[in-house]
Amino acid sequence: MALLTDAPHPQSPTSGARAFARLGGRAANDEIVAPPAREPEPVQTVTLGKIGDFLELDLGRIFVWLRKGLLASVALAGLGAMAGGAYAVLSPAKYTVSTDILIDPANLQVVSDDLFQQPGQVDNALLNAGSKLRVLTSGNVLARVVDKLNLVADKEFYDPTPGLLASLLPASKQEEADPRLAALSALSKRVGTKADEKSFVATLSVSSESADKSIAISSAIVDAFKAELATAEADGAGRTAAALNDRLDELKSAVKVAEEKVEAYKRDNNLATSAGELVNTQTMAQLNQQVVEAQSRVIAAQSSYDELVAAGRNATTADTQASGALTTLRASAGALRQQLDAQSMVYGPRHPTIVRLNTELAAVNAQLEAEIGRIVAAAKVSLDEAKTAAAALAAKADELKTDVFSDNEALVTLRELERDATSKSTIYEAFLSRARQVTEREQLDTTNVRVISTAVPPAARSWPPRTVVMLGAGAVGGFALGLLIAVLIGMIRDLRQPRRRRVASAAR
């Protein structure tokens, strides 16, 4: 069994190419001629051949190197364990808390025609949720947290005393840092987010030197995040409302000018309107109706007159008083005729009774004829009056037709002006209603962000790890470093040793 020694193994095989490179072109089995002993030893350099010899050494050489550096490795392991324990005890602890937030890309549907479009497709929803997640750790949100919690006064986030490196610089090069920006930069390094790939849930992680401080910062970030989203929507609604209000002034002026044109045209053309219709047109319609009614009265009066003339003593009338008088007279005449016929059978024609009855009958017949004449004359007067009224109304209608025709021609232009004024007024009213709605929308918060898991105090600190873990990690690291140093020293020694051994053999 071969013993492990510090010297290179004599039977170590070498390749022909590396041997040729080491001997400067001579064969591997040629005898090495050493220089005279009195000559000084040349400076040794690392050549390609020496590196090749090292790479082709057997595994036993590594164990020799490790054995020689074992004690140093154990010492470094102890130092590493002490350093790890000291770091675990002396370094400031970090406590990390997590908050799960549901960032719904679809906002609350408060109004039917909202300003902001709801994301429909999956890609749009993902982009919307990703944008909101980016806002969660944006500078505006973190700046709100710095101001709210006054982190400028916290030495963990801003230390007004200059550091060692900064104190070594000249006073002219020591620039005074903005405390708020320094606190904001320190806070951004202690905040992180992670999104779930299968949902719209994001996890907010916050680290600080105190668990309570981490929870407070996490809660402040969530509140600032909601406020920032609401502010963004309010700013968008405010800009829209401002643009609408600016446009409203122009629309209002345009509506006023259009309505003034309508009224001026009516005044210039004497186009009086009532209930949205020209007065002349209404008057013409009423006059036409009166003409029709007058013609109907003329026809009725003519018919009544003709009937009275044709009927003679047997005429009847619709007048109640006239009809009563005629009835009374006709009844009296009938009664006298009956008496006269009855007395004529007893007395002669010259008998005083017969004469009296004839006289009374003649008087009644005269009254009857006079009444019928009066009724016919009254019918004639009514007919003449109806004809006169109908003729007057017809003349008035003919006179008004000219004005109506001219008004109708002017009405064409008036309707065009009214349509222009109506369209501008409709647009103005729509913009006015929308501006008021947007102004009210500015006061609404439709962001749909919910905290589904609040931050709770952690069971242990997140950094540094436990003291036992740091002791073990320091020991392992120190021991590995010692072994690495031992291997490096052995490599360097073996690269330099073969040349000295050849020189010594030549001298003997």
Q: What is the DSSP code string of 366-411?
A: HHHHHHHHHHHHHHHHHHHHHHHHHHHHHHHHHHHHHHHHHHHHHH
- What Å distances lie between residue 368 and 312, 314, 324, CA to CA? 11, 10, 12
Confidence of residue 356 (pLDDT cuts 50, 70, 90): confident
Mean pLDDT of 369-384: 80
Mean pLDDT of 170-176: 48
Confidence of residue 455 (pLDDT cuts 50, 70, 90): confident
Q: Decide: 137 and 218 in contact? Cβ < 8 Å.
A: no
pLDDT at 94 over 50: yes
Q: Decide: helix, strand or coil at residue 1.
A: coil
Per domain, the residue ranges of the chain are 16-87+464-507, 92-162+176-246+445-453, 273-441
Task: Based on DSSP, count helices (H) and strands (E) in the chain, helices before strands.
Answer: 13, 6
pLDDT in tens, 280-309: 677 777 878 888 888 888 888 888 777 777
Element (H, E) at 49: helix 48-55
Of the candidates 178, 193, 197, the residue with the CA atom closest to the CA atom of residue 141: 193
Most trustworthy range by pLDDT among 48-52, 113-117, 458-462, 473-477: 473-477
Cβ-Cβ contacts under 8 Å for 474 (sequence gap 6 or more):
80, 81, 82, 83, 84, 85, 87
Outline where 269-349 has alpha helix (H).
Answer: 279-311, 320-344
Our measurement of the distance from residue 357's CA atom to the centroid of its chain's CA atoms, rounded to an integer in Å, reads: 112
Cβ-Cβ contacts under 8 Å for 293 (sequence gap 6 or more):
none
- pLDDT at residue number 372: 78
Mean pLDDT of 203-210: 90
Mean pLDDT of 84-111: 76
Residue 238, both tokens = 């405010």
pLDDT in tens, 244-268: 888 888 888 999 999 898 888 888 8
Confidence of residue 18 (pLDDT cuts 50, 70, 90): very low
Largest CA distance in the chain: 219
Outline where 447-466 has alpha helix (H).
Answer: none
Q: What percent of the chain has pLDDT over 90?
A: 9
CA dihedral 430, 433, 437, 439 (to 10 degrees): 110
Confidence of residue 148 (pLDDT cuts 50, 70, 90): very high
Lowest-confidence range among 211-220, 319-328, 478-487? 319-328
Of the candidates 257, 301, 494, 487, the residue with the CA atom closest to the CA atom of residue 389: 301
Confidence of residue 483 (pLDDT cuts 50, 70, 90): confident
Q: Decide: 216 and 103 in contact? Cβ < 8 Å.
A: no
Between residues 148 and 351, which one has the greater pLDDT?
148
Mean pLDDT of 19-48: 45
* One-letter identity of residue 481: L
Letter string b/e over residues 153-189, b meaning 16 or more CB atoms within 10 A of that residue's CB: ebeebbeeeeeeeeeeeeeeeeeeeebeebbbebbee
Residue 11, both tokens = 């039977």
Global confidence as pTM: 0.53
Q: Decide: 97 and 483 in contact? Cβ < 8 Å.
A: no
Q: Distance between CA atoms of 456 and 465, rounded to whole angstroms?
A: 20
- pLDDT at residue number 473: 87
Mean pLDDT of 461-471: 76
DSSP-assigned letter for residue 161: S
Q: What percent of the chain has pLDDT over 70?
A: 72
Element (H, E) at 427: helix 352-441
Q: Distance between CA atoms of 16 and 135, rounded to whole angstroms?
A: 67
Q: Decide: 172 and 180 in contact? Cβ < 8 Å.
A: no
Q: Is the peptide bond before 464 cis (omega within 30 degrees of 0)?
A: yes
Confidence of residue 277 (pLDDT cuts 50, 70, 90): low
pLDDT at 165 over 50: no
Cβ-Cβ contacts under 8 Å for 116 (sequence gap 6 or more):
107, 233, 236, 446
∠ at Cα 140 (143, 94), nearest 5°? 50
- pLDDT at residue number 109: 52
Of the candidates 465, 369, 368, the residue with the CA atom closest to the CA atom of residue 84: 465
